[in-house]
Amino acid sequence: NAGVTQTPKFQVLKTGQSMTLQCAQDMNHEYMSWYRQDPGMGLRLIHYSVGAGITDQGEVPNGYNVSRSTTEDFPLRLLSAAPSQTSVYFCASRRRTGKETQYFGPGTRLLVL
């Protein structure tokens, strides 16, 4: 199993540009989520999904959209990038029931100029 994968690893955007961060998992996990990590602020939840077609907002959803058309994929879209969205983004997945080990992807480092 590849586990949780993310692309790209690093991206530079200009203010106002849009982009999609990709996330995929091959563990048949129902639950997937996106976090952003900023210095001194830990991991903050952006959006999450408990299954295909079901998504909900986390702690910091503004400026981000998500969709979940398949169990495997959970892309994160930035519609109009802002410098405040400069961060490291982690995707994570886990089973919805039972043991709740959450597995993280390798992260995407985003710089918005």
Partner 1 sequence: GENVEQHPSTLSVQEGDSAVIKCTYSDSASNYFPWYKQELGKRPQLIIDIRSNVGEKKDQRIAVTLNKTAKHFSLHITETQPEDSAVYFCAASKGLISNFGNEKLTFGTGTRLTIIP
Chain residues that interact with partner 1, rule: CB under 8 A: 31, 33, 35, 40-45, 48, 50, 54, 56, 58-59, 90, 96-97, 100-107
Of residues 58 and 63, the one with the C-beta less far from partner 1: 58
DSSP string, 68-103: -SSSSB--EEESS--GGG-EEEEEEEE-SSSS---E
Place of tokens 């903050």: 44
Of residues 54 and 113, the one with the C-beta less far from partner 1: 54
Smallest separation (angstroms) from partner 1 to the CB of 71: 15
Residue 21 structure tokens: 């961060």
Smallest separation (angstroms) from partner 1 to the CB of 32: 10
Residue 34 structure tokens: 């996106």
Of residues 62 and 97, the one with the C-beta less far from partner 1: 97
Cα 5 → chain centroid: 11
